[in-house]
Amino acid sequence: MLYQVFEKLDRLFGFAQAKAHCDIPCGIYDPHQAQIAALTVIRMVDLANDLVKGSTKESLEFHNSLTRYIQVKEEHAEICKREVRVIFGDFIKKEHVEKYPELPSLMHHIMQLGSKARQTAGRETALELLGAVNRFAEIFWEIKGIKTKKVKAPYKPEEEIVYPLL
Amino acid sequence: MLYQVFEKLDRLFGFAQAKAHCDIPCGIYDPHQAQIAALTVIRMVDLANDLVKGSTKESLEFHNSLTRYIQVKEEHAEICKREVRVIFGDFIKKEHVEKYPELPSLMHHIMQLGSKARQTAGRETALELLGAVNRFAEIFWEIKGIKTKKVKAPYKPEEEIVYPLL
Amino acid sequence: MLYQVFEKLDRLFGFAQAKAHCDIPCGIYDPHQAQIAALTVIRMVDLANDLVKGSTKESLEFHNSLTRYIQVKEEHAEICKREVRVIFGDFIKKEHVEKYPELPSLMHHIMQLGSKARQTAGRETALELLGAVNRFAEIFWEIKGIKTKKVKAPYKPEEEIVYPLL
Amino acid sequence: MLYQVFEKLDRLFGFAQAKAHCDIPCGIYDPHQAQIAALTVIRMVDLANDLVKGSTKESLEFHNSLTRYIQVKEEHAEICKREVRVIFGDFIKKEHVEKYPELPSLMHHIMQLGSKARQTAGRETALELLGAVNRFAEIFWEIKGIKTKKVKAPYKPEEEIVYPLL
Amino acid sequence: MLYQVFEKLDRLFGFAQAKAHCDIPCGIYDPHQAQIAALTVIRMVDLANDLVKGSTKESLEFHNSLTRYIQVKEEHAEICKREVRVIFGDFIKKEHVEKYPELPSLMHHIMQLGSKARQTAGRETALELLGAVNRFAEIFWEIKGIKTKKVKAPYKPEEEIVYPLL
Amino acid sequence: MLYQVFEKLDRLFGFAQAKAHCDIPCGIYDPHQAQIAALTVIRMVDLANDLVKGSTKESLEFHNSLTRYIQVKEEHAEICKREVRVIFGDFIKKEHVEKYPELPSLMHHIMQLGSKARQTAGRETALELLGAVNRFAEIFWEIKGIKTKKVKAPYKPEEEIVYPLL
């Protein structure tokens, strides 16, 4: 079913058969920055939650820190979406989607989670986002014929990330 | 066929049944800025082509103008992509895609044309981009139950744009 | 009186007699984006006011949402000012000011209201801003020889906007 | 004549009688950055002209440098306009305009020269821009009751700038 | 001791003997903007502290203003760091460091204070930052062979700034 | 010798003994993005050089592509500098510099090469930049107690990068 959809898409606009097309940089795609961005979102959620549970409400320092955590969460949720969008738009081709039919919905899911991670401040959404980005990274490296493994990130938050065995 | 695809997507991540979700501003979607951006891309292509056909090559003024036209073309091709992406991501829901199954491929086509309009400087690609954005606008207004008509844009380049009859 | 002022201005620096000058895009002026921006400011004020009247004060979600509404209000009040400033600077000529002597003060009023809409969060200022931008749009379309009408915006907030009859 | 104009403006929207209003930072206005920006525009014009007169046309280094000079000229002409606009909008009040009726036209002249300095690459326009900004600075410091003098800038291009005697 | 360090640095990468190198603008270095930025940080801290001491907690206007002060403090602490970094990286040469061996640590100190001024909202840190930037300005003008004096800034906050006697 | 320098620095401003300080995100430091940025600079230099050697000089497509390559080179050389600067400023502490006394000069070298990579378009400088960033990455991972190896980048340009064995 999905094959037919994408075959149809292909005829419509020449779904890139062979050429790598990009808005530049050409050819340099790596999901790493998207993963770091997702980790940053989790980190900001954690810092914000710790702050709110503390006792210095209404102080200027409380507001100064909270505003900054929210601001950085905004930026990095957006960076996460953008990085995945660029790889999906420029690197992923028809034959990839045929091999991994979950790609379009995974992409869309990441976009939605990224938006939700901006609009809310719960850890669950942020973790879901990282999970989806990790799956995207896994597929990405498989396409490039590179094996991956799951490792604990070497920085806070020490959540699991998919890591290519270069 | 497409219904089944999106029903599957729906089960995967709760394809927005009823809630309008957005990264803010909430609810204020209008394809007009995307159309203006596409017109601007055509305009820059025209200005750049006129300049190159002229005789002041190698002069500083030639380079000053050309660099600026290319720069603005870059920005507006990107604005065009972004505006369509936001409407598609935040406003378009499952029932809309069911009624207009061309939407996902149209969205993807606009993204590709937007990139191509950045990487090259031909009028054809820029016109194609406007055409695709106009079709997107047409569907958008139909979804909102508002009739449209085609009019000549009241500014250069005086190409046709889809216009809602408010 | 105002004619004399602008005639004086004209002699001082050659108040653009005939050439359309712009920082590019050349010739593509439309007050629509300024109107959308003003609507967005009103929307953000409404969302922020609703939030503050609610009961979840001191929660992280309260701060997350409020910070985001304020941030977007900032951006769109600034977009509104910029769009009007560009049209006034590039499109409006001496003969236009002669026909519509309210233009300079209207422009200045919009700048002041835009700043005020950033510094405060009341609906009245935001509505005043939209009103002034609507009047500016009305004059703009008259200059181009295009009739307008007032319509309810096809999105929240459903305030009135001036709409060209293309 | 000009007094009547501004009195009329005043009634229309309460031309700030006493309060210093700003989009923040509040109260910190200084034309120095506008002057530096104008000097930078002249510098870029000089560097670009030297390059074009040289012999390495068509080389990659030629294009690399020229593109960068044009880019920086763009930015600084825009910075110059913005700095003057902010001071004029936030600091200049009705009584100032009454004392220095040339202010509105000077402001407008700076905006036009700033745009022209972006669209073209001639030294004359860039020098005119600096001249107008210097006059604006002179009036600014007089309003603040601080004497000024003209000095040669302590960096290239070593053009004259108005300097407050603090 | 410090001479030996920098001589070693010199051999490693040709510590700019004679050419002024810059990322453009070339040659136009002035610590003034860094000083204004530091003054702005102090101003924002003052405004924020006044607001928090006031009585309108929990109102929308309270949040609107506080968020904006914090935002501007962020920007200007960053501008301050950037301006000093550019001058240190582009203008300061080996012979300058030899004459003023405090320069590298002063630079680093400013970077740290700038970060601290973002992460916290106390007046002391902001004043320290201004003090360090003033010392940097003093050395800068001495290198250029221009005497300086300390003056009260002609705007709020009326703290002392180092001022070149041009 | 170097120990004495940094001990002196330490006394001057409390060279962070134990606290990790950052401008946020706190704790998430990784040289990977700096390495990708350096690879991108090399890639843009290669694409630009190929273009200039080709035969379509003076065509609009030639200028369109070249301007874009130069623009992206600008951005990524700056990203490279910024990423290293943040890690050096926030993550590197006194004890690290004691163990790896080359760190400050390496940091400074990267800043200079980054600037040079913007001002010129030769492959040698871009390769030098990557080399310096790779050395910085090596030290970074050693500090974190993680072994590294050198691998060929899994994308163009396929130059060597230092890779942590997580």
Query: Which ipTM value was assigned to this complex?
Result: 0.83
Q: Does E165 or B57 have the greater pLDDT score?
A: E165
Region of poorest pLDDT, from A14-28, C142-156, F18-32: A14-28
Torsion over CA of A50, A53, A55 and A56, rounded to 10 degrees?
A: 60
C54, pLDDT greater than 50: yes
Min Cα–Cα distance to chain C from E65, Å: 7
Which residue type is seen at F73?
A: K
**How much is the pLDDT for C14?**
29
F160: enclosing H helix or E strand: strand F160-164
Is the CB of residue A99 less than 8 Å from the CB of residue A139? no
Q: What is the mean pLDDT of chain D?
A: 85
**How much is the pLDDT for A23?**
63
Region of poorest pLDDT, from C140-149, D82-91, E157-166: D82-91
Contact C63 A57 (CB under 8 A): no
**How much is the pLDDT for D55?**
66
Look up tokens 């000095």; give the residue.
D151
What is the chain A residue with the closest CA to C70?
A67
Once rounded to an integer, what is the mean pLDDT over residues A86-111?
A: 92
**How much is the pLDDT for B26?**
64
**What's the full length of chain D, in residues?**
166
| Proportion of chain D above pLDDT 90, given as a percent | 72
Which residue in D21, D92, E76 sits closest to C120, CA to CA? D21
User: Which of F24, F25, F163 has the CB atom closest to A166's CB atom?
Assistant: F163
Phi, psi at C152, each rounded to 5° = -80, 130
Once rounded to an integer, what is the mean pLDDT over residues D77-100?
A: 92
Interface test with F, best of A19, A155, A158 (most F CBs within 10 A): A155
What are the chain B neighbours of C146 within 8 Å (beta carbons)? 154
F4, pLDDT greater than 60: no
Confidence tier at C4 by pLDDT (50, 70, 90) = very low
Category of D130 on φ-ψ map: left (φ > 0), alpha (ψ -120 to 50) or beta: alpha
Once rounded to an integer, what is the mean pLDDT over residues F5-23?
A: 33
Q: Within 10 Å of residue B86's Cβ, how many Cβ atoms? A: 17
Q: Does D138 or A1 have the greater pLDDT score?
A: D138
C5, pLDDT greater than 50: no
Min Cα–Cα distance to chain D from E36, Å: 8
Contact B59 D66 (CB under 8 A): no
Which residue in C35, C36, C34, C41 sits closest to C118, CA to CA? C41
Once rounded to an integer, what is the mean pLDDT over residues E39-60?
A: 89
E128, pLDDT greater than 70: yes
**How much is the pLDDT for F80?**
96
Once rounded to an integer, what is the mean pLDDT over residues E133-161?
A: 96
Chains touching A by CB (3 or more pairs below 8 Å): B, C, E, F
What are the chain F neighbours of D58 within 8 Å (beta carbons)? 52, 57
Confidence tier at D1 by pLDDT (50, 70, 90) = very low
CA distance B33 to B30: 7
What are the chain B neighbours of A108 within 8 Å (beta carbons)? 9, 13
User: Which of B60, B65, B71 has the CB atom closest to D49's CB atom?
Assistant: B60
Per-state percent for chain F, helix, strand, coil, to nearest 5: 65, 5, 30
Between helix B103-119 and helix B123-143 the angle, nearest 10°, is 150
What are the chain B neighbours of D49 within 8 Å (beta carbons)? 60
Category of B32 on φ-ψ map: left (φ > 0), alpha (ψ -120 to 50) or beta: alpha
Those residues of chain B whose CB sits closer than 8 Å to some CB in chain D are 58-61, 63-65, 67-68, 71
What is the chain F residue with the closest CA to B46?
F60
Q: Does B25 or A33 have the greater pLDDT score?
A: A33
Once rounded to an integer, what is the mean pLDDT over residues D132-140?
A: 98
What is the chain F residue with the closest CA to B68?
F67
C163, pLDDT greater than 50: yes
**How much is the pLDDT for D159?**
96
pLDDT digits (tens, 9 = 90+) for E6-45: 333 333 332 222 222 246 746 799 999 999 999 999 999 9
| Proportion of chain E above pLDDT 90, given as a percent | 72
What are the chain C neighbours of D89 within 8 Å (beta carbons)? 111-112, 115
Once rounded to an integer, what is the mean pLDDT over residues F72-94?
A: 92
pLDDT digits (tens, 9 = 90+) for F110-134: 999 999 999 999 999 999 999 999 9
Region of poorest pLDDT, from B129-133, C24-28, C66-70: C24-28
> What is the number of CB-based contacts under 8 A between chain A and chain B?
55
| Both tokens assigned to A59 | 């102080």
What are the chain A neighbours of E74 within 8 Å (beta carbons)? 68, 71
> D25-61: string of b/e by CB count within 10 Å (b at 16+)?
bbbbbbbbbbbbbbbbbbbbbbbbeebbeeeeeeebe
Chains touching B by CB (3 or more pairs below 8 Å): A, C, D, F
Chains touching F by CB (3 or more pairs below 8 Å): A, B, D, E
| Proportion of chain A above pLDDT 70, given as a percent | 83
Query: Among the ranges A131-140, B68-77, D74-83, D95-104, which has the highest mean pLDDT value?
Result: A131-140
**How much is the pLDDT for D123?**
97
pLDDT digits (tens, 9 = 90+) for B82-136: 999 989 988 998 899 999 999 989 998 999 999 999 999 999 999 999 999 999 9
CA distance F16 to F9: 11
**How much is the pLDDT for A115?**
92
Confidence tier at D165 by pLDDT (50, 70, 90) = very high
Contact E60 C52 (CB under 8 A): yes
